[in-house]
Amino acid sequence: MLRIIGLLLLIPLLDIVLLVAIAGWIGPLYTVALVVLTALIGMLLVRAEGRHTLQRIQGKLAQGEPPTDELIDGGLLLISGAMLLTPGVVTDLVGLVLVVPFTRYPVRLATKRWVVTPYVDAKTRGFATGNVYVGGFPGGEGQGQSQPGQGSRDTYEVDSESYDVDDDSN
């Protein structure tokens, strides 16, 4: 946790150092103009991508599918908008990475893998991400084996994982 806080404190420090260096190189007036220009262009990009993402969310909902990737994209676009409005070179670069679709894709995959999935697993004890247990008490005797007098066992495919289920109808 301290590393994350340290990283978050380093970003503004790095932004200030880079802004002072750029101001010494091209002048303070041009530096301010550059910061304002990047904020305006960034907000136009965020607005366009936000509309596109909203249309994709509506399309997925109309088809009856959950818009999981689109919702993550919306969250990343919110972060991108905040970064682009914050004056600084590093925050503008991070905001630009998050607003462009082909650079946002790997960030979305990483967000799903290291943020969303662990959070959902912690809240649902693995139920929502595919760690579903079917049949009997966990760790009980005869788990996964056919016992005499219990009928045959059938295997069903669920989300590309197979589960054994007792068939007592025989």
Predicted structure pTM score: 0.69
- Scan for tokens 């689109």, then name that residue: 70
The structure tokens listed for 74 are 């919306």
* Contacts (Cβ under 8 Å, ≥6 apart) of 14: 90
The predicted structure's pLDDT at residue 151: 46
What is the amino acid identity at position 31?
Answer: T
The predicted structure's pLDDT at residue 103: 95
Is residue 9 classed exposed, middle or buried when 0-12, 13-18 and 19+ CB atoms within 10 A define those classes?
Answer: exposed
Spell out the domain ranges in the chain: 11-124
Q: Angle at CA 109, nearest 5°, toward 104 and 110?
A: 95
**pLDDT of 152 strictly over 50:** no
The predicted structure's pLDDT at residue 132: 52
pLDDT grade for 120, boundaries at 50, 70 and 90: confident
Per residue in 60-96, pLDDT (tens digit) is: 999 999 999 999 999 999 999 999 988 888 899 999 9
The predicted structure's pLDDT at residue 64: 92
